[in-house]
Chains A and B, each alone.
Chain A
C-alpha cells in the first residue's frame, strides 16, 4: 500500500481556515476596522463573500493546473529568479499576517488583563507555542484545529444564545443611514485583512480530496458568522458599542444565561486558541515556503528566525501607536493582499499558459 504522509482532508482545511477567519471577526475593533460604527459593516459582510470568491479564483485556477505544488513552488519552477523574488513576497505576507494578529492580541491583553503582563512575554509565549505547532506539521495542526473548532463552535453557540436574550430592536438603524462611508471602510477592512486567501495557495497541495465544496462553505459560513456577530453585538449593546475598543468582548462581558454570567472568559479562551491556530498555520506556511525554496535544513533554521522576527516586530509595534498605524494601515493591507491574491497568481497563470505548447 502506498504510504500517504502529511495529508489533510478538505474538512480539516475548512476547520483551519474557518478558525483563522473568525478570529478576524471576534477581534473586530475600530483600530483595525477603521470605523466605530459596526452596524454599517453588515452591508460589507453581505458583499464580501463575492469579493472573496473572486480573490480565491486565481489561486484555485493555479491549483487546478497543478494540484501537487504550492504557489511558492510554482513560482520557483516557472519564473526562476523572478519567481524566487515573488515567492519571497509571499513569505513576507505570511509574516505580516502573524505580526498583525499578534499585535491585536497584545493590545487586547494589555488593555484587559490586570495585573499587566509584559508584552514581550505574551509574544514569546504565543510565538514559541506556534513555532512548536508549526514544526509538528500540517497534519497535526489540522487535527488539533478540528478539535479546537468544535470547542469554539460550542462556546460561540453558547455565547450567541446568551446575547439573543439581550437584544433590543431599537438599537437597529437602517443600514447606511449616515452614508456609505462606514460600509466602504468595512469592505476595505474585510478584504485587506483576509490573509487566508493567500494561505490557501500554500495549503492546497496538502489537501487530498476535492476542495471546491470546502472553500465555498468556508466563504459563506464565515460571512454568515460575521453577520450574526454584527446583529447580536449591535442589538445587545447599541450606542454603547461606539465607545468600546473590543465590541465583541464587551458583548461577552454583559452576556449571561441564568447563573452563568460574564462570558468574557469564554471569549478570552476563543481568542487565544484561534490566535494560536492562525499563527501556527502561517508559521507552517512560512516554513514550507522556505523548504520549497531553500531546502529542509534551511527551513528549520529560518522558521526559528521568523518566529523571533514575529515576536520582536509585534512587541515593538504594539508598544508604539505610531508604528501600529503602519501595520494597521488599510491602504498597505489592501495593496499587499491584492498583490498576493490577484497580481502574482495572475502573472503565474499567464506564464504557465505561455509555456504550454500550442496544439
Chain B
C-alpha cells in the first residue's frame, strides 16, 4: 500500500516537474518593441516592486535599463553605463539594431557584457545582478555585469577552528569562494563547472576538481546525480547533501563531507575529491567522503607526526567514549556489576541507592536534559548563553546531585560523554542518536545487546559506499597504503611520495 502511494506521489511529482521544466525550457524570443518587453517582464515578475526600470532617450530612440533593486552597484551603473551613453551625445544612427551595436562596441566597453535574445536568459541574468540595456526596436538586450550586493566579509569559520592555519573562511557569494580556491591552487588543471539546481530558486553551484587527479568517471557520476535532483530550492548545503548520499536517509552516518575552510577544501581537491560550492552558503560539500576523514583535521598536517598520531588516537577514543560509554555504564551496573572493580561498584551502588530513579532512566533523562541545554545554547542570543551555562552547569547539575536526584557517577559519565562528543564535531549527529539508543539497549537488555547493536552499526558503516568508494576504506577493505594516514599520520616525506587516489583505494569501484 505504502509502495503504491509512493509510486503515485513519484508519478505526480515527475509530471509536475516535467511540466515546469517544459515551461522553463520553452524558448521565448525578446520582441523589438521596448513597451512590449517591459510589459512582458513586469508580467513575468508578477509586478514585483524590486524590478527597477529606468527609461531615457538617446536621440529619438527610447532606451531602458532594467535591474533588480539591491543586486547591482548603483555607482558602477552611473559611472560605467549611464554617464558614457549620455555624454556621448548624438549617435546619428537611425536603425535601432545598428544603434545597439554602436553602443555595445564603441560606447560601453565593459568587460563583463553578454548579448541576450530570449526571456529565459534575461531572467537568469537580471536575477543574478546584471543591469540590462534595452533599446526600442532591437530584439537584443545587453547584460552588463555590475553586481554589487552586500555580503558578509571573509572571516574565520566559527564551526571549524584551527590552531595553526589560515584564518580565512568561505563566505556566501559563490564567486568569492571560487577565487579563494583558485588563489590557493594556481594550476590550469583546477576546473570549475557551473550548474544550476532548484526549479524555483535556480541556485548556482560549482563543481570544483583537479583534472587528472580526480577520476573522470566520478565527476560524470556526480553530475548525473545532480541533474536528477528534483527540488524547488537549495537554500542550504544540507538540502543537496542528502541527494548525494547513496541510501539517502537510511544510514546514520554521512558520506558527504562539509567544510567552511578553503584550505581544507583545497587539500581534499588535491586528494582527488570533488568540491561542490553552492551560492548563498559558506558550506562546501566534499564527495566522496570516507569515515576515517572525520578524524582528520588540517592541524594534523602542521604538527609533528607523533603528536598528530596521538591526536588521532584521542579522537578515535573520544568517538567510542561518546557513543558507547553511557550504554556500557548502564548495562554493566544493571546486569554485570561483577565486571567492575569492587571499590568502583561500591561507590556506584551507594549513589544509586540514594537516588529515586533507576540507573537507565537517570542516565537517559540527564542526557536528554543535556541535549535540550545544548539546543537552547545554540539558538539563544549570545549574551544569554552565559545564563544558560550557569543554569545548566550549576543550578541543574549541582542541585540535582546535592538533592539526591541524580548520582554523582552518572553525572560524571554524562559530562565525559558530552566532552568527548565535541572532539569530532562533524560526527555529533550520529553520536547523539546512538548514545541514547545504546543507553536504552544496555539498560533493558545488557552488555550482549550492546555488542549486537555495535555490530549492526559496524555493518551499517561497512555497507556504505558513495560513488563506488567504500566508506570504511582503507580499514575495511584493508589497504596498507591508505593506512599511512588513518591511525597514525606518517611524515610528509612519506605522504608526499605518492598520493592515494580514490580509484586505487581497496574495494573502489569508480
Verify A132–B335 contact, CB threshold 8 A: no
* A265 within 8 Å of B (CB atoms): yes
Verify B335–A114 contact, CB threshold 8 A: yes
Q: Which residue of B lies closest to A112 (CB)?
A: B336
In the bound complex, CA of A5 to CA of B508 (Å) = 10
In the bound complex, CA of A262 to CA of B339 (Å) = 6
In the bound complex, CA of A262 to CA of B345 (Å) = 14
* A9 within 8 Å of B (CB atoms): yes
B27-56: CB near A (< 8 Å → 1, else 0) gives: 000000000000000000000000000000
Q: Which residue of B lies closest to A272 (CB)?
A: B451
- Contact among B445, B451, B462, B475 with A268 in the assembled complex (CB-CB below 8 Å): B451
In the bound complex, CA of A269 to CA of B448 (Å) = 7
Question: Which of the segments B121-129, B300-308, B406-414, B452-460 contacts the partner chain?
Answer: B452-460
- Contact among B339, B462, B477 with A265 in the assembled complex (CB-CB below 8 Å): B339
Q: Label chain B's interface by main secondary structure.
A: helix
Verify A1–B451 contact, CB threshold 8 A: no
Q: Which residue of A lies closest to B503 (CB)?
A: A1
Known A121-B445, A276-B452; judge A115-B459 contact (CB<8 A).
no
Q: Label chain A's interface by main secondary structure.
A: helix
* A352 within 8 Å of B (CB atoms): no
Verify A147–B475 contact, CB threshold 8 A: yes
Verify B455–A133 contact, CB threshold 8 A: yes
| Residues of B in contact, count (CB < 8 Å) | 33
**Which residues of B sit under 8 angstroms from A136, Cβ to Cβ?**
459-460, 463
B89-106: CB near A (< 8 Å → 1, else 0) gives: 000000000000000000
- Contact among B332, B455, B472, B476 with A129 in the assembled complex (CB-CB below 8 Å): B455
A96-135: CB near B (< 8 Å → 1, else 0) gives: 0000000000000100011101000110011001001100
* A144 within 8 Å of B (CB atoms): yes
Q: Which residue of A lies closest to B471 (CB)?
A: A143
Verify A113–B446 contact, CB threshold 8 A: yes
Known A264-B339, A268-B451; judge A125-B477 contact (CB<8 A).
no
CB distance from A230 to the nearest CB of B (A): 25
In the bound complex, CA of A140 to CA of B250 (Å) = 15
Q: Which residue of B lies closest to A146 (CB)?
A: B476
In the bound complex, CA of A265 to CA of B445 (Å) = 15
Verify A109–B448 contact, CB threshold 8 A: yes
CB distance from A239 to the nearest CB of B (A): 24
**Which residues of B sit under 8 angstroms from A264, Cβ to Cβ?**
336, 338-339
Known A136-B463, A144-B455; judge A272-B336 contact (CB<8 A).
no
Q: Which residue of A lies closest to B446 (CB)?
A: A113
Q: Which residue of B lies closest to A8 (CB)?
A: B477
* B478 within 8 Å of A (CB atoms): yes
| Residues of A in contact, count (CB < 8 Å) | 42
Verify A129–B452 contact, CB threshold 8 A: yes
- Contact among A5, A115, A148, A259 with B458 in the assembled complex (CB-CB below 8 Å): A148
**Which residues of B sit under 8 angstroms from A277, Cβ to Cβ?**
455
CB distance from A119 to the nearest CB of B (A): 12
Verify B452–A125 contact, CB threshold 8 A: yes
* A212 within 8 Å of B (CB atoms): no
* B248 within 8 Å of A (CB atoms): no
Verify A147–B447 contact, CB threshold 8 A: no
**Which residues of B sit under 8 angstroms from A148, Cβ to Cβ?**
455, 458
**Which residues of B sit under 8 angstroms from A140, Cβ to Cβ?**
459, 462-463
**Which residues of B sit under 8 angstroms from A126, Cβ to Cβ?**
452
Verify A113–B477 contact, CB threshold 8 A: no
In the bound complex, CA of A129 to CA of B457 (Å) = 10
In the bound complex, CA of A10 to CA of B335 (Å) = 39
**Which residues of A sit under 8 angstroms from B472, Cβ to Cβ?**
143, 147
CB distance from B282 to the nearest CB of A (A): 35
Chain B stretch 114-146: residues in CB contact (< 8 A) with chain A: none
**Which residues of A sit under 8 angstroms from B446, Cβ to Cβ?**
113, 117
Verify B332–A265 contact, CB threshold 8 A: yes
Verify B454–A273 contact, CB threshold 8 A: yes
* A350 within 8 Å of B (CB atoms): no
Verify A113–B455 contact, CB threshold 8 A: no
Verify A113–B335 contact, CB threshold 8 A: yes
**Which residues of A sit under 8 angstroms from B456, Cβ to Cβ?**
129, 132-133, 276
* A141 within 8 Å of B (CB atoms): yes
CB distance from B448 to the nearest CB of A (A): 5
* B470 within 8 Å of A (CB atoms): yes
Of all A-B residue pairs in the complex, the 6 with the closest CB atoms, nearest first, are A140-B463, A143-B462, A272-B451, A136-B463, A143-B476, A276-B455
Known pairs A125-B445, A268-B336, A273-B454; list 19 more (Cβ under 8 Å): A11-B478, A113-B335, A114-B335, A117-B445, A121-B445, A126-B452, A129-B455, A133-B456, A141-B459, A143-B463, A144-B462, A146-B478, A261-B341, A264-B336, A264-B339, A265-B332, A265-B447, A272-B455, A276-B451
30 contacts between A and B (CB under 8 A): A1-B217, A4-B509, A5-B509, A11-B478, A113-B448, A117-B446, A126-B452, A129-B452, A129-B455, A132-B456, A133-B459, A136-B463, A140-B463, A141-B459, A143-B463, A144-B458, A144-B461, A144-B462, A146-B478, A147-B475, A264-B336, A264-B339, A265-B332, A265-B336, A265-B447, A268-B447, A268-B448, A269-B447, A273-B451, A276-B452
The interface of chain B, by Cβ under 8 A from chain A, is 217, 332, 334-336, 338-339, 341, 445-449, 451-456, 458-463, 470, 472, 475-478, 507, 509
